[in-house]
Amino acid sequence: MAVVESDLERRVLKPRLATPESLAGYGYLIGGKTEAPDTGYYGAAVRTSKPAPFVSNDDTSLSLATINPRPMEVRWMEYHNKHTQTFIPLEGKPFVAVLGKPTCRRPDGSWDDTKDQTPEIDTVEAFYFDGAAGFVMNIGTWHEFPFAIEPESNVVVILTNETTDNLKNVVDGEAHGDDLCKRDLQKRFGIVFEVEL
């Protein structure tokens, strides 16, 4: 049964500033100053660090997404269970991300893909990223693709090729696969989130 547009519940999300503290449970802010040893070859001129746990298989892809402002309405949310998808803005351009905490872990920490997973609707939040840092999501973090604030915003996206392929496996308006679960909030809950800056 299709949901009629006038029957939808509209929930407004006011973005919080993305900080290491506000993103706890969703993932890690990457960027800015980090304490890191030098590489040994270049002294203090080149330092490397691992600012966030990063998980992926050997099928990882580096993509460049050019995003433009679009209505800040969230109809779909998705998660990945094989990699920590990453968004890194270029040129200092800000973006907004809508996130829901992972719901697919058992109490012992193991992955639960046996049931029909959905985000916890009442805990979904919006975050404003000022363009100075990127974001590495925890495995299983529900999200919508970032919303651009400025035209022609370029964002480096690290994800698996499997996820890209899974997006083509659409059944009844939702995509499924071994590294993707994309849910239609409108169909499942009669809801759409609207981000208000």
Is the pLDDT at 102 greater than 80, yes or no?
Answer: yes
Q: How confident is the model at residue 75 (pLDDT cuts 50, 70, 90)?
A: very high
User: Model pTM?
Assistant: 0.85
Q: Under CATH, which number does the domain 5-195 receive? A: 2.60.120.480
Strands (E), 32-121: 60-67, 73-74, 76-79, 86-89, 95-100
- SS3 assignment, position 56: coil
Domains of the chain, residue spans: 5-195
Alpha carbon of residue 71 to chain centroid = 17
Rounded Cα–Cα distance for residues 163 and 172 (Å): 18
Is the pLDDT at 165 greater than 70, yes or no?
Answer: yes
Q: 20-45, pLDDT tens digit by residue?
A: 999 999 999 888 665 666 656 666 66
Residue scoring higher pLDDT (54 or 158) = 158
Is the pLDDT at 101 greater than 70, yes or no?
Answer: yes
Q: What is the DSSP letter of 75?
A: -
